[in-house]
Amino acid sequence: MSKASFERLAATVACEDGDKGPNAGAREEAKPALTTAQRILKAWESKDYFGLLGLPEPEADELGRPVWSCSEVEVSKAYRKLSIVVHPDKNPGDEEARRAFEVLNQAHRLLKDPTSREDVLRGAADKARRRREAQEAGADLATRVQLHAAKNERARELRKAEGQGLQAHILEQMRKRQEEAKRRAQAAARAAQMRGGRQMGDGEEDDEEE
């Protein structure tokens, strides 16, 4: 099964799992709308830093690694857009907006710092993996067998690509080391040549003085 076929099958399972019946939409619409500040604070309480910034949640590949398409530029753009809305200067006396602005800054720092972002992405990937497994568990036997086979095939492809990438990285590092050694040897040869030239010049001056 190709990756595209696997993704279509997984999406079908997810849609079936997410169908809560004809009244689900009505119940959602009945909920009162949250302000931007309230939504930010609610997302912060549940540690949903991606939803807080209005960014898509990471997924997990078949090896359990996080997959997230957002760049640092997109993270900063989302932060700036929301910070304008909840900035204390635009909401004088609004305690919710002030707190939302504070946690918005914290979430932004979490996703900008490489170390903390990696931790957050790993946690989100694990959550996505468990959610997907729960959805697949509700599928019929034939679908589960198909999904399991497709996941194993995709995992093998990822491991192979990972191995090839590692090999390419090692070869690139070797090439760089060889080039650096060559540059150093050339620099040493030039320095030795210059020293030899100076010594010859000094010897000629001594001969003239005699």
Q: How far apart are CA 99 and CA 19, in angstroms?
A: 35
Give me the pLDDT at residue 19, please.
52
pLDDT band with cut points at 50, 70 and 90 for residue 24:
very low
Domains and CATH numbers, the chain: 3-167 (1.10.287.110)
Cβ atoms within 10 A of the Cβ of 91, count? 17
Q: How far apart are CA 71 and CA 129, in angstroms?
A: 22
Whether 27 has a pLDDT exceeding 60, the answer reads no
Q: How far apart are CA 78 and CA 72, in angstroms?
A: 10
Give me the pLDDT at residue 112, please.
92
Give me the pLDDT at residue 174, please.
67
Q: pLDDT for 120-168, tens place per residue?
A: 999 888 888 888 777 777 777 777 666 666 666 766 776 666 665 555 5
User: Is pTM beyond 0.85 here?
Assistant: no
Query: For residue 96, what are the contacts with CB-CB under 8 A and spacing of at least 6?
Result: 35, 37, 38, 41
Three-class DSSP labels, 32-60: CCCCHHHHHHHHHHCCCHHHHCCCCCCEE
Query: For residue 176, what are the contacts with CB-CB under 8 A and spacing of at least 6?
Result: none
Give the lowest-confidence range in 30-44, 50-64, 194-208.
194-208
Among the ranges 106-120, 172-186, 188-202, which has the highest mean pLDDT value?
106-120
Whether 14 has a pLDDT exceeding 60, the answer reads no
